[in-house]
């Protein structure tokens, strides 16, 4: 995909940078692989806002993506490449030899008509899916499972990939794009290659309206609110809050840790930004 800029006819078009999608499928998605998706606008089942600054946005349908790749030893042909409004990378429709169709994430340099396959000890080729123990060190992979059979969780966004560094007993060692190094069980599956649409990071929204199409509402600073709305609010004229910065609920906004340790943290060898 290439980037598209505009002549500065308006102030918004001056800075706008978007992607051209002229090589993607222009028709509708496969109906049997598509389900309806209702926007909650950040509300819970009681109608109360639990995720702020969400609302409206363009209507979407959800494409069911195969993150499991369980059809082993059956080749599939890439029929077309599509845009998916629910994720940053593109998706592709593949048709297996037995006639079944499926959506999977589209890696770079995989073209219409190419064949892919899942299973043990397959060819190290873009789009093929196999256990980590069958993939040599130094290979770029995506769509990585954290537990065998649980479905891919790591490296699923545009241009994403991780690299296999080696093995440690029954575990494989992978290096994430953030610099984090972690162990993953060697029987977990991963797909060869780097995901498509790497230019996604170069998009410039250009105007507030485009963010509204994406379902993002305006963000307002606490110091311009009333005291009833935020701890920083109120005061005469422009004030800076008069206290250490906090969230609307009074929690410190200076990097205070509020999350408990995750169950999978024990598999991290080196955290991002730290040397081994």
Convert the pLDDT of each residue in 89-133 to its tens digit: 999 999 999 999 999 999 999 999 999 999 999 999 999 999 999
From 153, 136, 135, select the one nearest 144 (Cα to Cα). 153
**Do the domain assignments include residue 269?**
no
For residues 88 and 203, is the Cβ–Cβ distance under 8 A?
no
**Do the domain assignments include residue 276?**
no
The count of other CB atoms within 10 Å of the CB of residue 80 is 16
Higher-confidence residue of 275 and 154: namely 154
Residue 3 Cα distances to 22, 86, 91, 101, 175, angstroms:
11, 20, 19, 31, 29
Please state the φ and ψ torsions of residue 205, each to the nearest 5 degrees: -60, -45
Domain boundaries, position 85 = 24-201
**Do the domain assignments include residue 262?**
no
pLDDT of 133 reads: 93
Residue-wise pLDDT for 55-66, tens only, equals 989 999 999 999
Q: Where residue 176 sits, what CATH number does that domain have?
A: 2.40.50.140
**Do the domain assignments include residue 128?**
yes
User: What are residue 105's DSSP bridge partners?
Assistant: 91
pLDDT of 1 reads: 63
Sequence length of the chain is 276
Residue 177 Cα distances to 156, 197, 201, angstroms:
12, 16, 14
Query: Which whole number is the average pLDDT over 20-29?
Result: 93
pLDDT of 107 reads: 97
pLDDT of 169 reads: 86
pLDDT of 273 over the 80 cut: no
**Do the domain assignments include residue 8?**
no
Q: Is the pTM of this model over 0.85?
A: yes
**Do the domain assignments include residue 222?**
no
**Do the domain assignments include residue 257?**
no
The H-assigned helical ranges of the chain are 11-15, 208-213
Domain count of the fold of the chain:
1
**Do the domain assignments include residue 74?**
yes
Residue 176 Cα distances to 103, 104, 180, 224, 271, angstroms:
25, 21, 5, 40, 10
Tokens representing residue 66 in the block: 């195969």
């Amino acid at each position: 995909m290439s980037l598209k800029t505009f002549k500065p006819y308006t102030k918004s078009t001056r800075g706008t940078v978007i992607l051209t999608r002229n090589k993607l499928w222009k028709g509708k998605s496969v109906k049997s692989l598509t389900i309806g998706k209702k926007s909650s606008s950040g509300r819970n089942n009681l109608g109360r806002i639990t995720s702020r600054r969400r609302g409206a946005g363009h209507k979407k349908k959800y494409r069911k993506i195969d993150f499991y790749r369980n059809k082993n030893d059956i080749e599939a042909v890439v029929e077309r490449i599509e845009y998916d409004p629910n994720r940053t990378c593109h998706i592709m429709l593949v048709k297996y030899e037995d006639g079944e169709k499926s959506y999977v994430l589209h890696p770079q340099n995989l073209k219409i008509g190419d064949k892919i396959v899942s299973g043990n000890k397959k060819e190290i080729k873009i789009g093929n899916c196999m256990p980590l123990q069958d993939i040599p060190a130094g290979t770029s992979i995506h769509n990585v499972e954290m537990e065998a059979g649980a479905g891919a969780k790591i490296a699923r966004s545009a241009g994403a990939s991780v690299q296999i560094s080696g093995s440690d007993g029954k575990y494989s060692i992978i290096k994430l794009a953030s610099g984090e190094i972690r162990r993953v069980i060697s029987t977990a599956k991963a797909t060869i290659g780097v995901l498509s649409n790497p230019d996604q990071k170069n998009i410039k929204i250009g105007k507030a309206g485009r963010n509204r199409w994406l379902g993002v509402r305006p963000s307002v600073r606490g110091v311009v609110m009333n005291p009833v709305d935020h701890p920083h609010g109120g005061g005469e004229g422009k004030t800076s809050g008069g206290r250490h910065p906090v969230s609307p609920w009074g929690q410190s906004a200076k990097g205070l840790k509020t999350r408990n340790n995750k169950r999978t943290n024990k598999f991290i060898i080196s955290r991002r930004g730290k040397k081994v």
